[in-house]
Structure 1
């Protein structure tokens, strides 16, 4: 076909580069392009922009350095401890440049000779290549050496993520700051970075607009203060979580030097009112605010309401000291609020949501989690005053009753998603109110809804024809009759029936025949289902990609065989504690599903042959404890 190669003969270099850029960031697609020919490989290397690299393994530094050498145009790099340079190398295919040659053995027959790829030397690293620190402990993960290679090889780097790179210090960040002047985003998680590293980033990366620090040890307020003093004007997003060193001093600096900040996520134990007030006064462009500050109270949130009038999304977590007074101030000052999440705010009552509902009529997403003093009246206010509500999540709200949903059904006709978890007083009547008023509902998720049964499902099926996702975990009153109605009225794509112990094969038959486009199915902990139900799913749901059928005592190898023969698109399968499923059934799943990526099963049910054939996709549940 070489004589018919019109693309390489006619297509100019710059146009081919643009074609490769438009391929996207998927590694498989880019690797496929690199295998076309030598020219495409060279161009692909020169234009690849994203990479996810290993941080663990004895040769992590060499792998990162090799990537920086081969792909100098990288602008988005994520270095992750969960990836290993050793195991990752073993799975790499032989590069195109080392294609198999042909030789003749003594018998005269031609044989293929595969040359060892360059990465193969990382599979069994010699102990002499392990670096040893000052404390005498050998390092088997990425160090400042690898980060320095990346900085010098990819000077156009714009986004860098370091996840659990525990051997990296300030020295590595200094090298990044010296070489990568275009850096705009830096995400550091669980790295022992000192103050000099953060200060250097501030001095060298004046374009930095996104900074995320999580579990960052070794630094103090001095590091963050030095950073924001130098590049605070460009910062738009800042996240600091679980950093014990952070105090009000850092937030005073943020308030003084970051006037353009729009996103702030803060989890800190030692921050008090003063720090939050400083941010509120200095960062008046804030649009998204996530706070978990045990030491802050009403004064801090009142300042947010007074100065942050552009606020659109607010999440308050584990506040023990603020009351309804705080939300009253926020409601008065933040009229553009669309997203509100209240998690474990024990002192809030129904009046808080009344203030919000009356003043913030743009509320579209509301989450209430563990606010035990909120009762039915709180949701009634939302139903009366927030007609644009799209998503509602109630988690452990034991005092909310069915009557609240009457107002929600009347006033929130645009509601798309409803999540109910551990709301013990909510029953069928509540669901009927929602179904009759919110006909655009596309997602309904209920967990441990012990008072919700078939009556609710029949109403949903009759009214909510757009429903795509339904989750009914441990709703013990739901039976086959409810599923029959759902299958007749809704074309589901995701269905979770985990723990609905009244469901039988008959119910699964209704779903298989009424919802042929289903992609996700969880039928775990269903003692009454067996092979017939699995066979119906296999015949009626050819698009199924994910299935969980753990703790199903009635399922056997026969049923699994029927299931996988019909569901050829299956990618993940959970298959634990099914006592009648044997190693034969596991082997059938592996051999019949060419797209399978993950199979969760007991290790004792995997034969040696299956292990050799499908080792990378097997996940084992520890049953020996």
Structure 2
């Protein structure tokens, strides 16, 4: 189409925000599109393999805003020096899981970091007090900081580091200090007093934080909209005053995971009358139906509810709770072992806005539910893995009542067979992601006689699917991006070749424990230039020559499926985007 360049640039920006990797295909259309995609790309993931070519990437993508380090073992300081010399105006820097914390004070890197608003240092090895001081000095514009769960045998973060940090970062809006188990009330009090704009605070697994401190934080930080803490109520004689929560007038998200929650504490939360939208109470002890009923009756505009692990809940109790949950968009009832499909169908009937549900590890499938719903549910994502009683009949009914589902996870459901999955594929035309891993009843998908143009991700680990199934996939699922076949012992090279040759958008494939020939990989990258990540069969040892050949074609061999899938599905997602 003959559109102005500004229009194409706007379109490419939307693609970049959703998944920047799709810009690669656009860039191949013409030199004009190549120039546009180079200008709009905002995210770069740096690994050991990209370091030798980093200077080229920095010249090619002058508008980078987000940098993420992943699986880096080389000199991080030298890479940061290149970034500082590039003149980039960075807004986000992700150093999570790095083997050491870099020295930002070296080489004048302060200028590059002066406009960074988001810094993720979670799981960083050997995080020290001096590192927190350096963060406070080198990142004056920081708004979001994650220093959770430092990877060290003994935590080296104490109150003095948090106090120094808070005194320098007056504009901080969000902080995650979870897993720093030596910090005390002093740290949180300094944050609440110095960072008056603070809107979100996460402090899970901080053992020395008292209920008195939590009250003080809620009282001091009047702008707080989100609080996440676990393990409250376990200390002897620990209690909250009657007005503990009344000062948190802006609180809309509350996460009390793994806490000892009495009915009295839930009454205090209910009486506080926050503008609460999200409530997370997973794996809590002493939780009762009366306590949940009381708090939900006070917050009838909740859109997000997590009651995972509340094993006392029954179908009848869910029906009673639904009187107050008419606005629900997301609910997690996983590992509520007494729940059956009755709870599911009542939820999708009562909650017309529901978009996402998790009911993993429940008794889904044992119910007798003959009622037909008058309307179709608009639910988009459904996770019901580990439902050992789930049958084809029940799955077919779900697919009829939820035809708009896009993500479906029925992994580890031994009662599901090929017939049930075929009904899902036939009824759910919007399906983009399907997980059937561990479904021992699924042997072949070759009977599919209709197109599945929207299916992008298929995980079939440990199933009995074979080359005939892969032939079907190659013909019906041409838009496939991710294919996980780990443990599919009946898969041979012939089936793999058909998929690779026909699914031209395929980027990642896992062949661990398959019977594919190790000599197939050169052919794969030549036949399909979109391939970026391959997990070879177990025991295959690639030569350096093969690795280099694949790298020249933009593809990497990974030895484990964890490496393959760890950043595959959400390349633009920043850790901690959600309270959960």
Gap change, CA 1:276 and 1:163, over 3 Å in 2 = farther
1:572-612, CA deviations, whole angstroms, 9 ceiling, x for partnerless residues? 1112326xx6758993995497121342279xxxxxxxxxx
In the alignment, what sits opposite 2:221?
Answer: 258
State the Cα deviation string for residues 512-537 of structure 1 (Å, max 9, x = none): 11111211112222222323212221
Q: Match for residue 569 of structure 2?
A: none
* CA pair 403-259 structure 1, distance change in 2 beyond 3 A: farther
Paired residue for 2:206? Answer: 243
Whether the 8 Å contact between 2:44 and 2:68 is mirrored in structure 1 is no
Distance 1:507 1:51 in 2: 39
Count the aligned residue pairs. 512
Instruction: Tell whether 2:282 aligns with 1:317.
Output: yes
Q: Which has the higher strand share?
A: 1
Q: 2:534 aligns with which of 563, 570, 573?
A: 573
CA, structure 1 residues 537+329, in 2 after alignment: closer, same or farther (shift >3 Å)? Answer: same
In structure 2, runs of 5+ residues without a counterpart are: 1-36, 47-52, 562-580
Q: Is contact 1:265–1:290 with CA below 8 Å preserved after alignment?
A: yes
1:446-525 mapped onto 2 (5 Å cutoff)? 446-480=410-444, 482-485=445-448, 488=451, 491-501=454-464, 503-525=465-487
- Measured in 2, the distance between the counterparts of 1:560 and 1:67 equals 34
Deviation at 1:403? 3.9
Q: 1:178 to 1:293 in 2, by over 3 A?
A: same
SS at match of 2:188: helix
* Bigger Cα Rg: 1
User: Structure 2: how far apart are the matches of 1:316 and 1:68?
Assistant: 43
Aligned equivalent of 1:544:
506
Give the CA deviation at 1:24: 2.9
RMSD over aligned CA atoms reads 3.9
Q: Does 1:597 align with 2:556?
A: yes
1:187 counterpart (134, 146, 151):
146
CA gap 1:419/1:490 in 2 versus in 1, 3 angstroms:
farther
Structure 1, unmatched stretches of 5+, are 1-18, 85-140, 603-625
Structure 1 residues 589 and 238: CA distance shift in structure 2, 3 A: same
Q: Which residue of 2 aligns with 1:429?
A: 393
The equivalent position to 2:259 in structure 1, one of 259, 269, 294, is 294
Q: Per the alignment, do residues 267 and 71 of structure 1 end up closer, same or farther by CA in structure 2, a change over 3 Å counting?
A: farther
The match for 1:621 is none
1:76 Cα deviation after fit: 3.8
C-alpha separation between the residues in 1 aligned to 2:520 and 2:328? Answer: 48
| Bigger mean CA offset, 567-576 vs 151-160 | 151-160
**Shift in alpha-carbon separation, 1:330–1:559, aligned structure 2, 3 A:** same
Distance 1:23 1:508 in 2: 34
Aligned to 1:213: 177
Q: Which has the higher contact order (CA 8 A, sep 6+)?
A: 2
SS in structure 2 of the partner of residue 253 of structure 1: helix
Q: Does 2:360 match 1:382?
A: no
Alpha-carbon distance between aligned partners in 1 of 2:543 and 2:77, rounded to the nearest angstrom: 43
- Once residues 583 and 423 of structure 1 are traced to their aligned partners in structure 2, the CA distance between those partners, rounded to angstroms, is 39
Q: Which residue of 1 aligns with 2:3?
A: none
Q: TM-score, normalised by structure 1?
A: 0.71
Partner residue, 2:13 = none
Shift of 1:408: 8.6
- Which secondary structure does the structure 2 equivalent of 1:424 belong to? coil
Describe the shift of the 1:303–1:57 C-alpha distance in structure 2 as closer, same or farther (beyond 3 A). same
Partner-residue secondary structure (3-state), 1:267:
coil
TM-score, length basis structure 2: 0.76
